[in-house]
Structures are given as structure tokens and as C-alpha cells.
Structure 1
Amino acid sequence: MPILTELFYLPPIEYFALISGQGELCIDGTDRYQKQSYRNRARILLANKVDTLSIPVLRSSKKQFYKDVKIDYGQKWKNVHLRGIQSAYGKAPFYEYFFPYLEVVYAKNLTFLFDLNIELLTVCLKLLQSDTKIQVVSETLDTNEYHDTRGIINTKEDFTSRNIMTAYLYDQMFGVNFVPNLSILDLLFCKGPESKDVLNLSKKND
């Protein structure tokens, strides 16, 4: 059964644990945009703190469709994000191999947040050597046809409150204490081809 889920910006590791092993990932194209969610924010580990990268957006109404939300390029967010990623992972083992794939997407200056997130998710799945295919579902949804996971992953609760994954420790760039469930970038840059194995070890058995 295909998994139905939301579309996030450089999603947290638990998102990929959730979809691990799935042949088809269905994104809800009728989704309404939600503030203070992973739709426009991602967490990375800097030398002294965990930093949240947030994409500013232009919104016309509270009930705006996610697909219609435009990125606010009037703010210099892209430079901040790229510098932040470089500061966090520039010396990571797989940064020089993987970062160019992301850089290509950012260079496009895509108008819509949805489109940016789709392209970044596609890159992340490629770097994870995942066979999962992405499909955007825009017609009226019959949730009986999907494993519906929408609304499960949110920023207001810790991942430990959800039955998706356990924190599998791997070597991070900074700090003595391991920080779990950061953006998938943390895992990819630190572990490279082994990232898929870490996800499989992190995933809780249903």
C-alpha cells in the first residue's frame, strides 16, 4: 500500500525512517500550508548549537494551498542557508560529494516552496540510494487506498512521542552529546552510503 505523507524542507531523519522500504511515496497535493511546521524549516548541528533554517514565504491567506505558497526572495535566506550548511558540514566526510547536488537545486531560484521541497526530496532519496518513487496526488483522496501518515510528524512534539524510530547513534561533526533527528543532511554528510543502513537500524518495527 502506498504511503501518503506531507512534504517537508530537507526533512528530519524520522521522515526517512518512516518511508524507508516504501516503493511509492504519495505527496498530498491538496494540502493547506501550515506555519511553524517542517514545510519550511530544517534543523542542522553547528559548533555551538542546533540551528533552525527557515525559508520565508509570501502568503495571501490562512487557508492557502501549499502548492501556491511562494518563496520570499526579498529576504537573503538562501545565502544564510547555504552558509549555515557549509559551516555545519563543510568538513564532514561526504560534504564535497553530496553538496553539489543540493547546490544545483538552490541555484534554480524556484518560485514555489512546494517545488523546491519536491526537488530537494528527490535529491535526498537519490543520495540515500533509495528506490522510492514520488507521486503528487491532487485528486480527491480515498485514504483507504493509502497508508496515511499525514499529521504524525510535527514540530511541537519530540520524535520520542511517536512510534517511528529510535535514535541510532552515529558520529556527528560537533558536540559530545549526540543530537537525534536532525535534518537528513546531518546523516548524509556524516555517513554517506551508510546512511541507508542507519535508517534501517533506526526504524521501529510496526
Structure 2
Amino acid sequence: MTKSIAVDLHYFPNLEFFAAIADAEELVFFPEERYQRQSFFNRTEIRLANKVGTLTVPIQGRRPRLSLENIRIDNSQNWVNVHLRGIQSAYGKAPFYEYYFPYFEKVFQQNYENLWVLNWEMLTICLKLLGLPVKMRVHDKGQDPTWSEDIRGELMPSAPFSERDYYDPEPYFQLFGLDFDPNLSILDLLFCEGPASKGIVLKSVKKQ
């Protein structure tokens, strides 16, 4: 039977996300679900020179009842340049930055209006660069549940990863400072460790 995991779509997911889905053969996503405030749908954390910083995609209007697929990016704000400058400032001197950054820069330059589409494109690239052979599909509302595990709503910023059973940090090389910052955006791992990233993700899967 295919190992299929029902999961939320995040903006540049953190390492807990990838540890949680590391052995999946298929990821199932649910664009019709309602947007939740204080989620990872439009935010990610990167390591800057003096702190861990948050990159947030601005979204339009009030959203209490909107489905995820209908969340629109507020492109009236100069967020793309802010994110590009932030990523460059954080990782411009990282060993694998020049190899991987163009993949993401190309997507940023598309000026997407729909956050679901942007996140889908970025996650597709991240999985490819990691070398995780997992398929992505959208759940058909008319079908019966067909997944073997459901972690929707579990990976939230409101509670630390240590309270969940997915991620046990495996330290790796990071820029800036001596203390290791766990569970940052997948960008941190990819830019710092390159082809070794997949092995680090697999080592960070919490033993049950």
C-alpha cells in the first residue's frame, strides 16, 4: 500500500515538515480548507546575522471564511524584493546558494497572485532539490479518504516542535554564530548543505 500523508501546504516548509513526510510516497493537499491565522501558510523562518527572522507573504483583505485556494497575495506591497533581499542577506555566502537560488528566484519573478499556487511551486522545487521521490496531489472532495496518515493542523507555530513526534534536530553547518538554530526553513538547510540535505532530514526523523 502506498504511504500517503494528508498534510497542510506551507510557505518554504521548515525541517519538521520534511521530517514528518520523509518516508511518504505521496502527499495529499486540501485547497478547499479554510485559511487559519497564525499558520505556516504564508510565513517561514530564516537565519540572519544576529537573529532568526520571519519572512511573511502579505495577503489581501479579511479572510475568516476563505478557502486556502482563494487566498490572494497582496502584491501592492513590495514583499518579493523584501524576501529576495532577506534570503540573499542570510545565505548569499552559503556554500550552495549560487546553485539553488536561481530555482527560487525564477518563481518569485512570476508575480503570482494566488498563494496556494506559489507555495505549490516552491514545495515542488524543494522536494526536487532534496531528492525526495514523493508525489503531490490535491484531494478530490468527491472521493473517500485514501491516505494512511493525517497530520493536518499539527505543525503550527503556536507550539514548539519538541511537543510533537516528528522532528529530532540533527545539527548541520549554518552561517553566523556558534549556536545551532533548529527547525528553520528548508532554505537554510539547502543553501548550507546542498546534496547532503536529504541525509540530514532523514537523520532528523524522531524515533518512535
**TM-score w.r.t. length of structure 2:** 0.95
1:92 paired residue number: 94
Q: What is the CA deviation profile of residues 79-133 of structure 1, one whole-angstrom value per residue up to 9, with x for unaligned ones?
A: 0000000000000000000000001111111110000000000000011011111
- Which residue does 2:21 correspond to in 1? 19
5+ residue gaps, structure 1, are: none
Which runs of 5 or more structure 2 residues have no equivalent in the other structure? none
2:86 paired with 1:68: no
Question: Could you tell me which residue of structure 2 aligns to residue 172 of structure 1?
Answer: 174
Report if aligned partners of 1:94, 1:189 keep a CA contact under 8 Å in 2: yes
| 1:145, distance to aligned residue in structure 2 (A) | 3.6
- What corresponds to 2:192 in structure 1? 190
SS in 1 for 2:202: helix
Mapped contact 2:35–2:63 kept (Cα < 8 A): no
Deviates more, 1:162-171 or 1:140-149: 140-149
- How many residues of Structure 1 are paired with residues of Structure 2 in the alignment? 206
Out of 40-49 and 137-146, give the one that drifted further. 137-146
1:175: Cα distance to partner? 1.5
Please report the TM-score for the alignment, with normalisation by the length of structure 1. 0.96
User: What is the CA–CA distance in structure 2 between the aligned matches of 1:204 and 1:140, rounded to whole Å?
Assistant: 34
Structure 1 counterpart SS, 2:34: coil
Aligned twin of 1:32: 34
Letter matched to residue 201 of structure 1: K
Match of 1:150 in 2: 152
% same residue:
47
SS in 1 for 2:120: helix
In the alignment, the residues of structure 2 paired with residue 105 and residue 138 of structure 1 have an alpha-carbon distance, to the nearest angstrom, of 26
Instruction: Tell me, yes or no, if structure 1 residue 54 matches structure 2 residue 21.
Output: no
- Alpha-carbon shift at residue 59 of structure 1 (Å): 3.3
Displacement after TM superposition at 1:37 (Å): 1.0
State the superposition RMSD in angstroms.
1.3
The aligned counterpart of 1:117 is: 119
Q: Is the 8 A contact 1:29 1:138 kept in 2?
A: no
- Cα distance, 1:3 vs. partner? 0.4
Partner of 2:165: 163
Partner SS, residue 40 of structure 2:
coil
